[in-house]
Amino acid sequence: MTKDKANQMWGGRFEEKPSDIMEQINASIGIDKRMWIQDIRGSIAHATMLSQQEIITKDEAVQIVNGLNTIAEEIKSGNFEFKASLEDIHMNIEARLKDLIGDVAGKLHTARSRNDQVATDFRMWTRDAAASVIEQIKSLQAVLEALTVKHKDHIMPGFTHLQAAQPITLGVHMDAYWHMLERDKTRMRDCMVRLNECPLGSAALAGTPYPIDRDFTAEKLDFDRPMLNTLDGVSARDFANEFLFVTAQCGLHLSRLAEEIILWATPQFGFIQLSDAWSTGSSIMPQKKNPDAAELVRGKTGRLNGNLVQMMTVLKGLPLAYNKDLQEDKEPVFDSFDTISLCLQAMKGMLESAAFNTDAMLNSAEMGYTTATALADWLVMELGLAFRDAHHITGAIVKMAEDKGCKLDELALKDLQSVESKITDDIFSVLSVKNAVKSRNS
């Protein structure tokens, strides 16, 4: 069976074209076309550098740059045909450049390989994604900050083991998530520092004999500097791992908040009411209002973790330098970016439109003997008891309140004194949840 001539970009020594399945397993265009802007930007910087270094002529560079700009317009307006037979975004663009400007297009790839090209494009794409995640974290933080201020005096039960532990405020609970996100933001900024070195000029792996100017292209593409080792330049993907870890960690933080929203939205808790815009109904049980967005934020943590594990597994044991396995790097990163963006936006929308039932929270804080620790602290600070003894006495007082079916601050002084005779009236200053919260200043 005769086959068409081989791939026009690398087929010099090939007589047959690839089998259909080879083409399918080899093609990444369906995924990496998302990097078209970065690819064109990288190529324009490279062509400009080649002409400055007199590796190609000024006129050739002008033709190449104009052609690339035309392609950018075509892609933007949806008039570009992406072809799987051309494998990836790099060859799709280069082939189109040849259609547009003829053989001079072939000069663009001087002193460059797809290996340093793809590493450069992917770093630029991930850098933009990281900056966008930081902005999205900031806007969720603004909502959390507003809730922290609004609810700074609204009492709720704080939990350990999901058992009512001590009274806290809704404000401080919201503020805890603000701090988690603050760390995620600094992690992402830190990832951007290491990511921001330019592999361009590494060529296939061993550098290039042309008198290129790596500082020029690095600067033009907003990198801090060129990568020093060319083998590392084409094969390092730890920046992708870091991005995937930070998105997974941020998703994990969101999943904890999501879980609390889900619990709080149950009639049993009744702490929060989600707006209709952020809930769904049941097709069979008319009374239900389900917190699906929160459940999905919780569930999508699985994807984010999975993407990190996928990338780490692809990289494990890979010899230097470039291996085609590395083409598997983009899908998890793109997916984690899309996923964390959705989760951050959903969480923001849910929280800013939710109604918090502060009466139910206060009620709940008053029901679970949550001021018992404050009572024990009072015994230590006012009567000079050892904390362990105070703990024991408080246990007996809680038991007494339980037997009488009342709250701690509803016990009579003489009842309290029947357990510890030195207790005075002053103890009532800490037994209410409001005073218990007020007394804690750390």
DSSP state of 204: T
- Cβ–Cβ under 8 Å, residues 157 and 370: yes
Q: Which stretch binds ligand ARG (CB under 6 A): 113-121, 193-201, 387-395, 407-415?
A: 113-121
Shortest Å, Cβ 39 to ligand ARG = 10
Between 39 and 197, name the residue whose CB sits nearer to ligand ARG. 39
Which CB atom, from 32 or from 377, has the smaller least distance to ligand ARG? 32
346-362 in b/e burial notation, b at 16+ Cβ within 10 A? Answer: bbbbbbbebebbbeebb
* Cis? peptide before 218, omega within 30° of 0: no
Pair 361, 155: CB distance under 8 Å: yes
| Residue with Cβ nearer ligand ARG (227 or 250) | 227
- Reduce the DSSP state of residue 29 to 3 states and report it: helix
Q: Which is nearer to ligand ARG, 10 or 387 (CB)?
A: 10
Beta-ladder partners of 290: 280
Cβ distance 345 to 266 under 8 Å?
Answer: no
The 168-207 site mask, x for binding ligand ARG (CB under 6 A), equals: ----------------------------------------
Query: Counting contacts by CB under 6 A, is residue 118 touching ligand ARG?
Result: yes
Stretch of 110-118, 181-189, 208-216, 307-315 contacting ligand ARG, by CB under 6 A: 110-118
Q: Which is nearer to ligand ARG, 121 or 197 (CB)?
A: 121
Binding mask 318-337 for ligand ARG (x = CB under 6 A): ----x-x-xx----------
Distance CA(346)–CA(296), nearest Å, equals 9
To ligand ARG, the closest distance from the beta carbon of 210 in angstroms equals 19
Q: How far is the CB of 332 from ligand ARG (least distance, A)?
A: 13
Q: Identify which of residues 278 and 337 has a Cβ nearer to ligand ARG in the complex.
A: 337
User: And the tokens for 216?
Assistant: 């020029």
161 is catalytic: yes
Among 46, 107, 114, 253, binds ligand ARG (CB under 6 A): 114
Q: Which of 9, 18, 28, 245 binds ligand ARG (CB under 6 A)?
A: 28
> Distance between CA atoms of 413 and 278, rounded to whole angstroms?
49
What does the alpha-carbon distance between residue 349 and residue 88 come to, in Å, rounded to a whole number?
Answer: 37
Q: How far apart are CA 244 and CA 305, in angstroms?
A: 8
CB of 230 to ligand ARG, least distance (A): 14
Instruction: For tokens 């006495």, name the residue.
Output: 393
Cα–Cα–Cα angle for 101, 205, 329, rounded to 5 degrees: 80
Q: Of 90 and 214, which CB lies nearer to ligand ARG in the complex structure? A: 90
Helix (H) or strand (E) segment spanning residue 416: helix 413-419
Give the nearer residue to ligand ARG in terms of CB position, either 47 or 118.
Answer: 118
- Give the per-residue contact string, 33-62, with ligand ARG (x = CB under 6 A; - = no): ------------------------------
**Contact stretch for ligand ARG (CB under 6 A) within 111-119, 149-157, 160-168, 297-305:** 111-119
Min dist CB 10 to ligand ARG, Å, is: 8
Least distance (Å) between residue 353 CB and ligand ARG: 41
* Residue 307 binding ligand ARG, by CB under 6 A: no
The one catalytic residue in 161, 283, 421, 442 is 161
Binding-site size, ligand ARG (CB under 6 A): 10
235: contact with ligand ARG by CB under 6 A: no
DSSP E strand boundaries for 302-438: 355-356
Q: How far is the CB of 111 from ligand ARG (least distance, A)?
A: 16
Identified catalytic residue from 19, 139, 275, 282: 282
Two tokens, residue 305: 């973790």
In whole angstroms, what is the distance from residue 3 CA to residue 11 CA? 13
CB of 198 to ligand ARG, least distance (A): 17
Q: Based on CB atoms, which residue is closest to ligand ARG, 32 or 409?
A: 32
Shortest CA distance to 382 belongs to which of 420, 351, 341? 420
Q: Which of residues 63-102 bind ligand ARG (CB under 6 A)?
A: 88
Q: Return the HEC string of 257-304.
A: HHHHHHHHCCCCCCCEECCHHHCEECCCCCCCEECHHHHHHHHHHHHH
Residue 156's H or E segment, with its range, is: strand 155-160
Query: Hey, is 7 helix, strand or coil?
Result: coil
CA distance 216 to 235: 22
The minimum distance between CB 322 and ligand ARG, in angstroms, equals 6
Contact positions vs ligand ARG (CB under 6 A): 28, 32, 88, 114-115, 118, 322, 324, 326-327
**Known catalytic residues?**
161, 282
